[in-house]
Amino acid sequence: MKLNTVEPADGSRPARKRVGRGIGSGFGKTCGRGHKGQKSRAGGFHKVGFEGGQMPLQRRLPKRGFKSLTNMLNVEVRLSEIDALPVDEIDLSTLKQASLITQHALSAKVILSGEIKRKVVLKGVGATAGARSAIEAAGGSVAE
């Protein structure tokens, strides 16, 4: 085998369409674009989803669901993260200083994830029923 004899497999590389090269080529005159219409003209593009003036599918279907904008202002804190904090009285500012929650958070809630082994007092921070019972079992309290 020599480099000058290497060729692609038959049918793997179809010949390109040479448009506008006369009637004998099969792509003369209108160059395979047909007669008139948007697709026959230069720059005949349209918006994605455009249906020729008919009401598009994404506008015909009803809107569904709701995404709360305040959802990112209400954050969750794990019980194991509370246990790792060096302070006993925990409030929103304490959690922000420890970088457990974002500075923009308006409220926080402790969830039962992990365990707590020491006494802590939550002030102005919510707790789920499971987290509340775990904190109280360790000798702490939740004051909202």
| pLDDT tens digits for range 125-137 | 999 999 999 999 9
Using alpha carbons, select from 87, 117, 134, 40 the residue that is nearest to residue 96.
Answer: 87
| pLDDT tens digits for range 52-106 | 899 999 999 999 999 888 888 999 999 999 999 999 999 999 999 999 999 999 9
The pLDDT of residue 61 is 95
What does the alpha-carbon distance between residue 100 and residue 61 come to, in Å, rounded to a whole number? 41
The pLDDT of residue 71 is 87
Q: What residue type is 80 in one-letter code? A: S
Sorting pLDDT into bands at 50, 70 and 90, what band is 39?
confident
Domain positions in the chain: 72-143
Residue 9 has a CB neighbour count (10 Å cut-off) of 6
Contact of 122 with 135, CB cutoff 8 Å:
yes
Main-chain phi, psi angles of 45, to 5 degrees:
-95, 165
CATH of 72-143, one of 3.20.20.80, 3.40.50.300, 1.10.10.60, 3.100.10.10: 3.100.10.10
Mean pLDDT confidence for 39-44 = 86
pTM: 0.55
